[in-house]
Amino acid sequence: MSENQNLLAEQRRALILDEVRRRGGVRVNELTRRLGVSDMTVRRDLDALARQGAVEKVHGGAVPVAEASTHEPGFEAKSGLELTAKEDIARAAAELVAPGSAIALSGGTTTYALAHRLVDVPDLTVVTNSVRVADVFHAAQRTTGPRQGAATVVLTGGVRTPSDSLVGPVADQAIAALHFDVLFLGVHGISVEAGLSTPNLAEAETNRRLVQSARRVVVVADHTKWGTVGLSSFAALEQVDTLVTDAGLAAQARAEISEHLRRLVVAGEDEEDGADV
């Protein structure tokens, strides 16, 4: 971590979180030296990360939160994490969307960021099981009023999860009857062994249906999702056409991913070798 007194709070907290995950814990006095800020600033940052459920505060510092494979953070808790990475990913993923196409957006904070990038893409048909994603498009239409080329949004029914996704038999049946060009899929975890996974069993089945109904599958996930494994796997890496991630993804992870995926897009960098989808 480089020392910079002008770092924004979001940037400092992202650096702190990366350090906690990489080293298994940090001390306040180490962070003050590395970030070039006061003890009080670091303690406020740790308090904020602890409130989000990202770290656990201990005497003199912080350690990673020990999460069970069934733990599912709420939308608000996740929305405050890796904000810059999510915006970078959303910007890169939006470039993969063609006007007039039928796309699907799963639930999640990264797909929510992507939705904001797509409101001005003309003639989209958007299928989503995310209440938050649907609200983005509806809010845009309320603001601008009826306009030619506005997206047609299909919101599935279902039971609402802590991450504000709609899952269960109603959602599954609705999705199974549809076909879309591209699915943009947010994930709880991704790894070579477990593939794509989630802590919610019902959400796993709904995501499985989304994958089956898509001609192409694009996973949008920041680097912290790599190596995380939820309770239930719903797709193998080989079922993914493209992974859009951020520059924080380690070189070893990139090499492993490239062995299994057709295309890896690192937001803000040149694309890794791989065939276009």
Question: Higher confidence at residue 65 or residue 50?
Answer: 50
Q: What is the pLDDT of residue 68?
A: 46
Strands 214-220 and 242-245: parallel
Residues 58/64/66/69 CA torsion (nearest 10 deg): 160
Lowest-pLDDT choice from 113-127, 199-213, 256-270 = 256-270
Q: What is the pLDDT of residue 7?
A: 63
CA distances from 58 to 18, 24, 32, 47, 263 (A): 17, 12, 16, 11, 41
What number of residues does the chain have? 277
Give the integer Cα–Cα distance in Å for 65 and 15: 16
253: which 2 tokens? 């992870």
Cβ neighbours for 252, distance < 8 A, ≥ 6 positions apart: none
Q: What is the pLDDT of residue 270?
A: 61
pLDDT > 50? residue 92: yes
Q: What is the pLDDT of residue 164?
A: 83
Q: What is the pLDDT of residue 41?
A: 92
Helices (H), the chain: 9-23, 28-35, 39-51, 75-79, 83-94, 109-118, 131-144, 169-176, 201-212, 251-258
**Residue 141 pLDDT grade (very low, low, confident, very high; cuts 50, 70, 90):** confident
Q: What tens digit of pLDDT does each residue of 94-107 get?
A: 999 999 999 999 99
- Average pLDDT score over residue span 148-168: 88
pLDDT-above-70 percentage for the chain: 88
Q: What is the pLDDT of residue 3?
A: 41
pLDDT-above-90 percentage for the chain: 49
186 closest CA partner among 79, 64, 54? 79
Give the integer Cα–Cα distance in Å for 272 and 277: 13
- Average pLDDT score over residue span 131-155: 87
276: which 2 tokens? 């276009």
pLDDT > 90? residue 83: no
Q: What tens digit of pLDDT does each residue of 208-259 get?
A: 999 999 999 999 999 988 888 888 999 999 999 999 999 988 888 899 998 9
pLDDT > 60? residue 70: no
**Average pLDDT of the chain to the nearest whole number:** 85
Question: Higher confidence at residue 271 or residue 132?
Answer: 132
pLDDT > 50? residue 64: yes
